[in-house]
């Protein structure tokens, strides 16, 4: 159901003539059009890359609404509506469903570190609160807890609208087990840009991508070439992208990608604290990677 290059889109901010950063709604619409025109297969607003942790509830809802309005059903909108509070996740997901989102991305509860039983009950409660598809988001490096393959398989079996997982564990063995246990109709989506091609090779359907914010056509082409059976071409794109991907993750996401977008004139590079400007030495490495890729003169 969900395949190809799906962008975890940034949330552009502007100072709007004052000190406080506000969501730049016009720029967000412009970026969405850029993705639709450049082969992106889906958009995730309010994910980690979208700085969801520092958006107010009103801003969170508005960013999702704008995305749905601007996309106009041309590609799927997978709204990031997870939380470490089950009731909060339900509230955000119900809003996204009512606004017309095609699916919800549900990060595992962070900081409170639930057991596998707690994870199961949390995701089950969210899934039962709406009719739209749910994609789990497994990223233990940020949340402190791994969703085990057996837990994912049980959720896939028991909750018919839990249809896939964004897997950012970096563990291909775990991803293989998820695919094996959860069945052929369950979407395994890479959560790491550098693992897009390996995940496709074990039955993955695509990538929820950070680097696609700046090179959407290339990420889309990687997946398309693999799906057409052109492995050599897919490998060429994969290896060309790798240095850029490494630079995009030289500091905590979304600091480098938003900085890159600022350098490329795509949006303001403004970040909300506790995200902050890059270290000068890392900024130089990012600039070099952009130049080497041919994006920056």
Q: Copy the structure tokens of residue 11.
A: 């949330």
160 in catalytic set: no
How open is the CA angle 181-146-149, to the nearest 5 degrees?
5
CA distance 213 to 12: 12
- Cβ neighbour number for residue 288 with a 10 Å cutoff: 13
Strand 42-44 and strand 4-8: the pairing is parallel
Task: State how far Cα 198 lies from the chain centre.
Answer: 18
Q: Which of 27, 120, 154, 166 is catalytic?
A: 166
111 in catalytic set: no
Report the candidate in 52, 63, 61 with the shortest Cα–Cα distance to residue 27: 63
Q: Which of 137, 179, 258, 285 is catalytic?
A: 137
CA distance 199 to 183: 16
CA distance 122 to 57: 20
CA distance 175 to 202: 8
CA distance 63 to 41: 19
Q: Are 261 and 271 in contact (CB under 8 A)?
A: no
How many residues appear in the chain?
A: 297
Q: Are 259 and 278 in contact (CB under 8 A)?
A: yes
Task: State how far Cα 295 lies from the chain centre.
Answer: 22
Which residues does the annotation mark as catalytic? 137, 166
């Amino acid at each position: 159901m969900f395949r190809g290059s799906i962008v975890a889109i940034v949330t552009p901010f502007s100072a709007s003539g004052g000190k406080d950063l506000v969501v730049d709604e016009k720029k967000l619409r412009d970026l969405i059009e850029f993705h639709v025109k450049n082969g992106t297969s889906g958009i995730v607003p309010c994910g980690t890359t979208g700085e969801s942790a520092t958006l107010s509830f009103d801003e969170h809802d508005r960013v999702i609404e704008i995305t749905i309005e601007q996309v106009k059903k041309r590609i799927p909108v997978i709204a990031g509506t997870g939380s470490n509070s089950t009731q909060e996740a339900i509230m955000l997901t119900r809003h996204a469903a009512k606004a017309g989102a095609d699916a919800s991305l549900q990060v595992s509860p962070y900081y409170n570190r639930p057991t596998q039983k707690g994870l199961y009950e949390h995701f089950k409660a969210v899934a039962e609160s709406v009719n739209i598809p749910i994609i789990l988001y497994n990223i233990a490096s940020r949340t402190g807890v791994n969703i085990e393959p057996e837990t994912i398989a049980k959720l896939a079996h028991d909750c018919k609208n839990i249809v896939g997982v964004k897997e950012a564990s970096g563990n291909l063995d775990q991803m293989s087990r998820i695919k094996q246990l959860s069945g052929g109709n369950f979407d395994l989506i890479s959560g790491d840009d550098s693992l897009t091609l390996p995940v496709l090779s074990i039955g993955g359907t695509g990538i929820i991508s950070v680097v696609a914010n700046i090179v959407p056509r290339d990420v889309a082409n990687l997946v398309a070439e693999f799906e057409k059976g052109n492995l050599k071409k897919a490998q060429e794109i994969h290896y060309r992208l790798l240095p850029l991907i490494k630079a995009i993750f030289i500091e905590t996401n979304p600091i480098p990608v938003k900085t890159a977008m600022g350098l490329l004139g795509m949006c303001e590079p403004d970040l909300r604290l506790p995200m902050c400007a890059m270290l000068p030495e890392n900024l130089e490495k990012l600039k070099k990677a952009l130049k080497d890729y041919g994006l920056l003169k």
